[in-house]
Amino acid sequence: MECDKKYITIQQLEQHNKAGDLWVSINGKVYNVSDWSKYHPGGETPLLNLAGKDVTDAFTAYHPTTAWQYLNKFFTGYRLKDYEVSEVSKDYRNIIHEFTKAGMFENKGHTAVFTLTSVAAMFGFVFYGVLCCNSLWVHLCSAMVLGMAWIQSAYIGHDSGHYIVMSGHGWNKFVQLITGNCLTGISIAWWKWTHNAHHIACNSLDYDPDLQHIPVFAVSSRLFNSVTSSFYGRKLEFDYMARILISYQHWTFYPIMCVARVNLYIQTLLLLFSKRQVQDRTLNIMGIIVFWTWFPLLVSWLPNWSHRVMFVLTSFVVTSIQHVQFCLNHFSANVYVGPPNGNDWFEKQTNGTLDISCSPWMDWFFDGCYGS
């Protein structure tokens, strides 16, 4: 009966917006996820960023249909009295419904097998070129192929991180650790920590860590006001050093992209050995140990230091293509300050993302040109 239902207002929902007191609404029903946030597979940060808000569109975008069945155990018994859905959100939800009915979100096993096979073939070429040949040109080609293998591995790690590569949760996690930690040396735990926050608040200057590169880069003049990062919990100081570096960022951008991979290795280690709560910390560390075992051994097999330096630098420079691609997708799109709200989440996602049209082979190799 309608008269038996209990209601709260949006303003009352917004009061439950912090760790330990974290409520959200989905389709007008209010859920208490205060305790669950610590175990949330996507981490606590996405929930904190949307705490006290309607999260229907975000929940629909990042959860399989099977997740809906678990919501009832978090239901508070309350519904939103003044719940409204914008016309854009209505259209978005209708599109999602139609795409789901058409099976467009189902895992495509043949694509995963083809991609994994191509990565295995590339790594096989690299090891053969290093271990069985002494030619400088073969080693140069091997380094370039290694860079491309890292690019492909990162995209598989990305897609398995969204649990869309394999059919089961456990198999996706296995692929994440292999393609991320073991093959590329970049922790899937670090990626999830930053990437999920990025998806929830795409192109928010203070909530999206993918835009917070002070003092090296600034994607908006609003960062000149020393914005406080909600993600890192500190102020992004636009100090004297930042003024100097950013004034030359149009010159330094591409050279920095060539060695940007080093920063990812550093960020991985900083997270895994920090006091933060890290899901599967031991497995992530073990995967990183695997990488830092095989990669130095492979490089040491090269005949001399000139070959080794060339090999490492070339492989890093090739992966700069991926780093530039990441930047193209978001650096040139619209930015804003603050978290997204329930009814403008989809608009801010589309405003903050720049899709790149390209040929079919590039579309495959660069993971659909990675407009996410």
Q: For residue range 243-268, list pLDDT tens digits in order.
A: 999 999 999 999 999 999 999 999 99
Q: pLDDT category, 370, cuts 50, 70, 90?
A: very low
Print burial letters for 168-207: b (CB count within 10 Å at least 16), e (below 16).
Answer: eeeebbebbbbbbbbbbbbbbbbbbbbbbbbbbbbbbbbb
Q: Which single residue is written with the structure tokens 């069985």?
A: 132
In the chain, residues under CATH classification 3.10.120.10 are 6-102
Greater model confidence, 237 or 347 = 237
Cα–Cα distance for residue pair 53/15, rounded to 1 Å: 10
Q: pLDDT category, 342, cuts 50, 70, 90?
A: low
Record the pTM.
0.85
Cα–Cα distance for residue pair 271/266, rounded to 1 Å: 9
Q: What's the CATH fold of domain 6-102?
A: Flavocytochrome B2; Chain A, domain 1 (3.10.120)
DSSP class of residue 337? Answer: S
Residue-level pLDDT at 282 = 94
What's the token pair of residue 133? 């040949």
Is the pLDDT at 109 greater than 70? The verdict is no
Mean pLDDT confidence for 271-297: 93
What are the two backbone dihedrals, phi and then psi, of residue 30, each rounded to the nearest 5 degrees?
A: -100, 135
Residue-level pLDDT at 2 = 52
Residue-level pLDDT at 371 = 47
Contact 223, 249 (CB under 8 A): no
Greater model confidence, 127 or 337 = 127
Mean pLDDT score of the chain:
87
The model's pLDDT over 184-202, given as tens digits with 9 standing for 90+, comes to 999 999 988 888 888 888 8
Q: What is the DSSP string of 286-322?
A: HHHHHHHHHHHHHHHTSSSHHHHHHHHHHHHHHHHHH
